Amino acid sequence: MPGAFPVNAPASEQAFWVTGPGAGELRPEVLAEPGPGEVRVRTQFSAISRGTESLVFHGRVPESQYQAMRAPFQAGDFPWPVKYGYISVGMVEAGGAAEGLVGRRIFCLHPHQSAFVVPAAAVVPIPDAVPSERAVLAANMETAINAVWDLQPGPGDRLAVIGAGVVGLLTAWLLRSIPGTEVVLIDPNPQREPVATALGLAIRTPEAARENPGLQGLDAVVHASGNPAGLEQALALAGVEARVVEMSWYGDQPVPAPLGEAFHSRRLTLRSSQVGRIPPERAARWDYHRRLVLALSLLDDPALDALITGEDAFADLPAVMARVAGPEAARTLCHRIHY
C-alpha cells in the first residue's frame, strides 16, 4: 500500500519536554524494537514530582548541579530543552523474554512518555497487591525510605516531620510504624489535615508546634518543607545531641542556616538526605534495585491513595505542568497523568 510503513519501521510515540521557563510541549519520539536485554513499555500512568519538577520546569537547577540532577533516562540538558521525570508505570509489551516480563506491570524511573525502550534491568515488577494507579508513589516512597535510614530513629523516639508534601507525609507514615514512636507532622497548610488524618498522623501548624512544650527537645527531626523557615524550626525543636535530616532541595535559592544560638551547645547534627545515594551504613548490602523493590512493596495500603490529589490526560500535560508548578502548587500533592 502506498505510504505504508515497513513492517519493522520504528514507531513514533510522544514525550513531554521542558522547552523554556515555565513552558513545555509534547514531541514525537521514535522507538526502535527492543534489542537483547531490553524491553518496550507501554505507559499507563506517570506522575508529576511537584518539588523537583517545578524547579526544572522553571529553570532553577543551578549550573553546578546539572550533572548531579540528571534523571536516569533524561534527554537533553539543563536548563532546556530537556526531557525530565522519573515516575512511570506501564506494561511490558515486548522484549524481556528471558526475564518473563512481557505482560507484566512495571515501574520505571522514566520521564513522561507514551512508550519507551529501556534495559530490562531498569524496570521493577509491581506487586499484585499494589494497583497501577498507586504505584506512581514508588519514587517518593524511595526518597522517604532513604530519609528514615538517614534519620536512624529508634523505638520510643519523639519525632517531627516539617513539611506535609508527598515525601514528608510518606516519611512520617513510615516513622509512625516504629513501635512506641510519637510522630507529629508540622505544616501551615490547613488543606493537609484531611490527608494527614487519613494516614493516621497528627498535624500541627508551625505556630502551635512552637507553643507546645511537648514538642521541644525532640529525639530527631526531618525537614521537608522546602522553606528555609522550616529548617530554622527543625533546629529549634531538636534536643541535645539530636539529628536533623534536611530533605528539601532549594535549587538556586540561597538558604540561611541558623547555626548560632544553641546549635553548638546542643551539639546538633544537620545531615542532608538525597535519594541519589544510599546511606553508607547500608551501601555495602543495598542497591537501588533492592530499595525500589521495597518501596513498591510498601504501597499495598489503600490509605496512601489520599496522596494523589488530581489526575489529567497525557495530551494535556504541557498545560497541566504549568498549573501544578504554578497556581495549584499549594493544594497539589501527587498529580497523576493517565495515558
> Domain for residue 28, yes or no?
yes
- 147 shares a domain with 268: yes
Q: Are 48 and 312 in contact (CB under 8 A)?
A: no
The reported pLDDT for the residue numbered 324 is: 95
Q: CA 216, CA 99: separation in Å to the nearest integer?
A: 52
Query: What's the distance, CA 44 to chain centroid?
Result: 18
With a pLDDT cut of 70, the percent of the chain lying above it is 97
Q: CA 240, CA 16: separation in Å to the nearest integer?
A: 48
Beta-bridged to residue 243, according to DSSP, are 220, 269
> Domain for residue 290, yes or no?
no
- 100 shares a domain with 122: yes
The reported pLDDT for the residue numbered 304 is: 98
- 151 shares a domain with 122: no
The reported pLDDT for the residue numbered 10 is: 58
The arithmetic mean of pLDDT across residues 10-37, rounded, is 93
The reported pLDDT for the residue numbered 219 is: 98
The reported pLDDT for the residue numbered 2 is: 39
**Tens-place pLDDT, residues 179-207:** 999 999 999 999 999 999 999 999 999 99
Instruction: Give the contacts of 129 (CB within 8 A, at least 6 positions apart).
Output: 300
- 182 shares a domain with 93: no
Q: CA 201, CA 185: separation in Å to the nearest integer?
A: 7
Q: Are 218 and 192 in contact (CB under 8 A)?
A: no
The arithmetic mean of pLDDT across residues 114-126, rounded, is 98
- 69 shares a domain with 21: yes
pLDDT category at 142 given cuts 50, 70, 90 is very high
pLDDT category at 51 given cuts 50, 70, 90 is confident
- Structural domain total, the chain: 2
> Domain for residue 118, yes or no?
yes
The reported pLDDT for the residue numbered 5 is: 39
- 174 shares a domain with 110: no
pLDDT of 177 above 80: yes
User: Cα dihedral angle (198, 333, 167, 201), rounded to 10 degrees?
Assistant: -20
Q: Are 248 and 230 in contact (CB under 8 A)?
A: yes
> Domain for residue 3, yes or no?
no
- 303 shares a domain with 276: no
Q: Which residue has the higher pLDDT, 209 or 327?
A: 209
Helix, coil or strand: residue 201: coil
The reported pLDDT for the residue numbered 7 is: 45
Cβ atoms within 10 Å, residue 210:
14
The reported pLDDT for the residue numbered 27 is: 98
DSSP secondary structure string for all residues of 25-37: EEEEEEEPPP-TT
Query: What's the distance, CA 114 to chain centroid?
Result: 20
- 258 shares a domain with 202: yes
**Tens-place pLDDT, residues 307-328:** 999 999 999 999 999 999 998 9
∠ Cα 57 335 223 (to 5°): 75
Domain that holds residue 159: 140-281
Return the closest-CA partner of residue 69 out of 250, 270, 326. 250
- 158 shares a domain with 261: yes
> Domain for residue 286, yes or no?
no
Return the closest-CA partner of residue 57 out of 324, 332, 336. 324
pLDDT category at 4 given cuts 50, 70, 90 is very low
Which cell numbers hold the place of 266?
546542643
- 144 shares a domain with 257: yes
Q: CA 248, CA 55: separation in Å to the nearest integer?
A: 12
pLDDT category at 96 given cuts 50, 70, 90 is confident
Domain holding 64: CATH number?
Answer: 3.90.180.10
pLDDT of 11 above 80: no
Domain holding 146: CATH number?
Answer: 3.40.50.720
Report the b/e string of 238-248 with b at 16+ CB within 10 A. beeebbbbbbb
> Domain for residue 209, yes or no?
yes
The reported pLDDT for the residue numbered 332 is: 95
- 220 shares a domain with 312: no
pLDDT of 3 above 90: no
- 157 shares a domain with 132: no
Which cell numbers hold the place of 221?
527531626
The arithmetic mean of pLDDT across residues 266-271, rounded, is 97
Q: CA 90, CA 215: separation in Å to the nearest integer?
A: 43
> Domain for residue 1, yes or no?
no
pLDDT of 253 above 90: no
Lowest mean pLDDT among 36-40, 112-116, 152-156, 248-252: 248-252
> Domain for residue 288, yes or no?
no
